[in-house]
């Protein structure tokens, strides 16, 4: 059985994961309108992955005798300036999600809820991968600079990240 404190913290994370899905969906739509098929496919896939992270939390809360609450979400941005700015926002977002997961782990230890602590280890590992991926993409964009042909190649290359990233 989940304590009220754990349930509230997990429900907050449900909202964070749902919001992440929406942000990546908005990024996908923006990239698609800019003519970057690879980036949009990557973001659509990422949006689906974030939704799966949310659903995993919802099921965990309910299976542990809690009640997962689906709350309203803030509207995501509709424009992202440049691809570098968009991927910087993605990286910053992943860092904030990692901080939230770390807070959850801390709460689970304070509450001596070792089942939740164990469950959250998957999210800890996932966030390490998410941050590394975003950092890697930012490094590639920095290498490209303002080279338009470089962005064309980057758009094609990012498609490989979709198939290379194992389903979670």
Residues forming the annotated binding site for Fe cation?
17, 50, 53, 94, 127
Q: Using alpha carbons, list the distances in angstroms from residue 67 to 14, 122, 137.
A: 11, 21, 37
User: What residues form the annotated binding site?
Assistant: 17, 50, 53, 94, 127
Q: Look at residues 156, 133, 146, 147 and name the one whose alpha carbon lies nearest to residue 36.
A: 156
Assess contact for 9 and 104: CB atoms under 8 A.
Answer: yes
Cα separation, 43 vs 66, in Å, equals: 32
98 CA to centre of own chain: 9
């Amino acid at each position: 059985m989940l304590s009220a404190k754990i349930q509230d913290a997990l429900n907050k994370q449900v909202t964070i994961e749902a919001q992440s899905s929406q942000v990546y969906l908005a990024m996908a739509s923006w990239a698609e309108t800019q003519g970057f098929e690879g980036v949009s496919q990557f973001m659509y896939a990422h949006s689906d992955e974030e939704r799966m992270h949310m659903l995993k939390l919802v099921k965990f809360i309910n299976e542990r005798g809690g009640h997962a609450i689906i709350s309203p979400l803030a509207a995501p941005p509709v424009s992202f300036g440049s691809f570098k700015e968009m991927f910087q926002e993605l990286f910053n977002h992943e860092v904030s999600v990692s901080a939230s997961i770390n807070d959850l782990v801390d709460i689970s230890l304070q509450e001596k809820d070792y089942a939740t602590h164990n469950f959250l280890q998957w999210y800890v590992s996932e966030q390490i991968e998410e941050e590394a991926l975003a950092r890697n993409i930012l490094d590639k964009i920095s290498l490209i600079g303002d080279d338009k042909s470089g962005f064309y190649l980057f758009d094609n290359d990012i498609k490989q990240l979709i198939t290379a990233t194992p389903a979670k």
